[in-house]
Structure 1
Amino acid sequence: MNKKTIVIGASENPERYSNMAIKKLSYYGHEVVAIGNRAGHILDIPITTELNQQNDIDTVTLYVNPKIQAGYLNYILNTKPKRVIFNPGTENPEIYGTLKAHDIEPVEACTLVLLSTNQY
């Protein structure tokens, strides 16, 4: 069963890893909610700047640095994903305990690698 994923740090720039991840998630049939600093589109997926409530989220995958993550923490907790993937460069051990206390698994991994190796 494919998973619904929120990508935080979405960018229309095709050289950004968030852009590559959104395309690969879509390719593998996952429903994607893309959140970024600027509105736009990747494929047919809109990038929103709004933190709209989402339901049935399996994964949040982060492409923003720890300082920026603080502004998303309450949103992530309220969304109640099963896990949060901290892609390389986004690791943030300071919030892992908070996530665990809300039954959310923090995972230090690369979304692109997880998808490529069928571990997503």
Structure 2
Amino acid sequence: METKVASNGEKKTVVVGATTNPGRYAYLAANMLKQYNHSVVPLGIKSGEVAGANILDIRQKPSIEGVDTITLYIGPQRQPEYYDYLLGLKPRRIIFNPGTENEEFEKKAEAQGVEVEEACTLVLLRSRQF
């Protein structure tokens, strides 16, 4: 499958569950993605800024173009109301970070040709597998 890569090599990544709390993995991932020169679109229910970008309100289901990767930091119990919205962003892949694994959502994504990974975004970045 071809990777959608911007001209400078970055992969636009939507961080679902973005937060301004530096103790949360979503916060760490957003900042590490930026550090590794990826375009970060933070999406969550909290307002504020992370990795130099304003957190978009997921409840508003904002339009986001050119999405390569969605990395999930919300639990499976909160995911169903966003299945159609997130798949409608047409990501190349969705990363289910530890604690976000969801067989139902994974099957829906795969049925639409989306690559699914149960992995840790932080580890993927550090090991140059992102």
Aligned to 1:12: 20
Q: Deviations over 1:4-37 (max 9, x none)?
A: 0000000100000000000000011111110111
Taking only aligned residues, the RMSD between alpha carbons, in angstroms, comes to: 0.9
Partner Cα separation in structure 2 for residue 9 and residue 43 of structure 1? 14
Structure 1 unaligned residues grouped into runs of 5+: none
* Divergent runs of 4+, >6 A: none
Number of the residue aligned with 1:57:
67
Distance in structure 1 (CA, Å) of the matches to 2:83 and 2:119: 19
For residues 52-103 of structure 1, give each alpha carbon's deviation from its aligned partner in whole angstroms, at most 9, with x where no partner exists.
1111111000000001111211111110101000000000011222111111
Residue 79 of structure 2 aligns to a residue whose secondary structure is helix
CA deviation after TM superposition for structure 1 residue 43, in Å: 3.6
11, 26, 29: which one pairs with 2:37?
Answer: 29
SS in 1 for 2:15: strand
Aligned match of 1:86: 96
> What is the aligned-residue identity percentage?
43
Q: Give the whole-Å Cα distance in 2 for the aligned partners of 1:6 and 1:72.
A: 13
Length, aligned pairs only: 120
Unaligned runs of 5+ in 2: 1-8
Q: Which residue of structure 2 aligns with residue 116 of structure 1? A: 126
What code does the residue aligned with 2:101 have? E
Shift in Å, 1:106: 1.3
